[in-house]
Amino acid sequence: MSAVLETRVAKSPFERYRHSLWLLTVRDLKVRYSTSALGYLWSIIDPLLMSGIYFLVFVVIFNRGGSINQPYIIFLLTGLLPWMWFSGAIGDMTRAFLRESKLIRSTKIPRSIWVMRIVLSKGIEFIASIPVIAIFVLTTLATKTPAHLGWDAFYSILAIAIEAVLITGIGLIVAPLVVFFRDLERAIKLILRLLFYASPLVYGVSELEGHRALRVLADFNPLTGIFSLYRSSFFPSELSWPSVGISAVLSLLILGIGMLVFRRTIKTVLKEI
């Protein structure tokens, strides 16, 4: 495997990096689904079941969702699917250097690839799960509040870019630090659980307008602007450009910190794994 990764088929360093990154990403996806009879369908079944559960709890049982975010199932999905990309990738980052330590030590490719492959593979799974939204959109056509896809859907491209930057930055911090502090893996799981409810996922940014302190805190959560962009596809009132701007700045800041942490720790990481 190491010989394949270090192949010189590509001419420039960038092309070699891209080739190795894509090779590892495809390998991850193949390994993940090779022993599964349903394969790719799990990318749809998992969020589909999660959406069904949340719909039952928040809409059927608790009658959640006012007129500002109807149909609520679409409102929920446009936050839940990006969240699954974020949480799944960050969770995997805690094992990025521990799972395949021998291969990492034996190859000479840039070690940041082991972080980027997780961002890319989970991002592909996220894109593959988008048909789930289409399924629920079709189910709303016969209701009083059908879902309408607007031109703001193009903002999702910006949301994907910002989220990828954010995940990469956090991954560059988490992946090497877990090697030194193994308890960080458990701490990350706890933080993700708290962040699920601290982020505007089951509720919207517009619902925080009457709570100034909470709105300020929400704006400094980089996921707020990201969810705002995704949800603007169906709910234009959820789009908050100040939140988006803050999310973009924070994501770039975290990426910068991540690159610095990664650069200063990677040599020690290779000695520890």
List, for residues 202-238, the tens digit of each pLDDT value: 888 777 777 778 888 888 999 999 999 999 999 988 8
Q: What pLDDT, in 10s, does the model give residues 105-152? A: 887 788 899 999 999 999 998 998 888 888 888 888 777 778 888 889
Q: Which residue has the higher pLDDT, 8 or 16?
A: 16
**What pLDDT, on the 0 to 100 scale, is given for residue 64?**
60
- Residue 243 burial (CB count, 10 A): 25
Q: For 68-108, write each residue's pLDDT tens digit.
A: 567 888 888 899 999 999 999 999 999 999 888 888 888 77
The total number of structural domains in the chain stands at 1
Q: Is the pLDDT assigned to residue 12 strictly greater than 90?
A: no
For the chain, percent of residues with pLDDT exceeding 90: 42
- Quote the pLDDT of residue 66: 54
pLDDT digits (tens, 9 = 90+) for 184-200: 999 999 999 999 988 98
CA–CA dist 270, 216 (Å, integer)? 41
pTM for the model stands at: 0.89
CA-wise closest residue to 146 among 137, 155, 156, 158: 137
Q: Determine the pLDDT at residue 44.
A: 73
Q: What is the pLDDT of residue 36?
A: 63
User: What pLDDT, on the 0 to 100 scale, is given for residue 145?
Assistant: 76
| H-state helical runs in the chain | 2-5, 13-34, 42-55, 72-93, 101-106, 113-128, 131-140, 155-180, 184-198, 212-219, 222-231, 241-272
Work out the pLDDT band at 160, boundaries 50, 70, 90: very high
More confident residue, 14 or 197: 197
The per-residue pLDDT for 9 is: 46
Q: What is the band of 270 on the pLDDT scale with cuts at 50, 70, 90?
A: confident
What angle do the packed helices 13-34 and 113-128 form, to 10 degrees? 50
Q: What domain range is 22 assigned to? A: 2-272
Q: What is the pLDDT of residue 10?
A: 45
CA 231, 234, 239: angle at the middle one, nearest 5?
Answer: 45
* pLDDT at site 129: 86
pLDDT score at 155: 95
